[in-house]
């Protein structure tokens, strides 16, 4: 693989083409994104996102607190954090996919949070915000779809204020003997079949499974976070290693 190429699932593709291919996947599943995650996690993604929001731990009073949620178009994390925080908590959602952002804007409006959650069309690799703009930066189940993960981490560090925290929730490598084989069987056989039955697009789900398998192991991703500048980097595995919550600070 040359420097100009990357992987789209298990396929080798030109780096410049990956974003359009990823956009096509999420255009296909945007209206049923929660269902997609339910299929892939057995519904556990909701509990994992609650853990992420609780770890952000926004202040309960009127002290200003600004969250940036990257690749969070449907607003799942932003709504959780603003609901958990006080009157000073504000969230900005950035996503490169207009279909996902449309879902999020509708949700925020329906729940009465359209005045505290802002939705921005943008790229995780070139965030359109000044340096040290946010108290916390999060990304949930999105960084594995970024063509240049190192660039996205560098940008997350840039816009995180001194003393601020970066949190990344992502599918990971199962570390329980026996469970790994069952997980592979479920992932590569059941999920694409269910995806095809429910949404008519089994290939989108196959890509998402493959992208999970190609994502760096937690130790390797932790080092990528350190290379981007984050300190006190750590990660916690959940559900036998199916997911990991990564944490780093800008000090």
Do 141 and 167 form a contact (C-beta atoms < 8 A)? no
What does pTM read for this prediction? Answer: 0.84
Residues in the chain: 251
Q: What is the dihedral of CA 146, 249, 58, 102, to 10 degrees?
A: -10
pLDDT tens figures, 152-179: 999 999 999 999 999 999 988 777 777 7
Return the residue matching tokens 């560090």.
Answer: 157
Strand partners, 91: 67, 117
- Per cent of the chain over pLDDT 90 is 56
Higher pLDDT, 139 or 144: 139
Provide the pLDDT for residue 184.
74
* DSSP 8-state code for residue 71: T
Provide the pLDDT for residue 143.
92
pLDDT higher than threshold 60 for residue 8: no
- Kindly report which listed range (35-39, 48-52, 65-69) carries the lowest average pLDDT score: 35-39
Mean pLDDT, range 223-230, rounded to an integer: 98
Whole-number Å distance between alpha carbons of 46 and 163: 28
pLDDT tens figures, 52-98: 999 999 999 999 999 999 999 889 999 999 999 999 999 999 999 88
**pLDDT classification of 43: cutoffs 50, 70, 90:** confident
Identify the structural domains of the chain with CATH numbers, from first to last: 5-249 (3.40.50.150)
pLDDT higher than threshold 60 for residue 12: no
Provide the pLDDT for residue 30.
61
Residue 230 structure tokens: 């984050």
- Per cent of the chain over pLDDT 70 is 82
pLDDT higher than threshold 60 for residue 13: no
**pLDDT classification of 4: cutoffs 50, 70, 90:** low
Provide the pLDDT for residue 197.
74
């Amino acid at each position: 693989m040359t420097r100009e190429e990357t992987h789209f699932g298990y396929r080798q593709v030109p780096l410049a083409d990956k974003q359009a291919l990823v956009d096509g996947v999420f255009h296909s599943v945007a209206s049923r994104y929660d269902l997609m995650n339910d299929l892939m996690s057995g519904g556990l993604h909701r509990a994992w996102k609650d853990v992420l929001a609780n770890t952000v731990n926004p202040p309960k009073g009127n002290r200003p607190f600004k969250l940036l949620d990257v690749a969070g178009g449907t607003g799942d994390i932003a709504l959780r954090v603003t609901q958990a925080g006080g009157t000073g908590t504000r969230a900005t959602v950035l996503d490169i996919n207009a279909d996902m952002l449309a879902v999020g804007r509708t949700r925020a409006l329906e729940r009465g949070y359209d005045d505290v959650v802002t939705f921005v069309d943008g790229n995780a690799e070139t965030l359109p915000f000044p340096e040290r703009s946010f108290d916390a930066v999060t990304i949930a189940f999105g960084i594995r779809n970024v063509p240049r993960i190192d660039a996205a981490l560098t940008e997350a560090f840039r816009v995180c204020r001194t003393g601020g925290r970066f949190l990344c929730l992502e599918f990971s490598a199962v570390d329980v003997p026996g469970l790994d084989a069952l997980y592979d069987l479920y992932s590569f056989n059941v999920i694409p079949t269910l995806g095809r039955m429910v949404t008519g697009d089994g290939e989108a789900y196959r890509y998402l499974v493959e992208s999970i398998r190609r994502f760096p192991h937690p130790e390797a991703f932790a080092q990528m976070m350190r290379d981007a500048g984050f300190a006190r980097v750590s990660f916690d595995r959940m559900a036998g290693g199916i997911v990991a919550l990564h944490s780093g600070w800008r000090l």
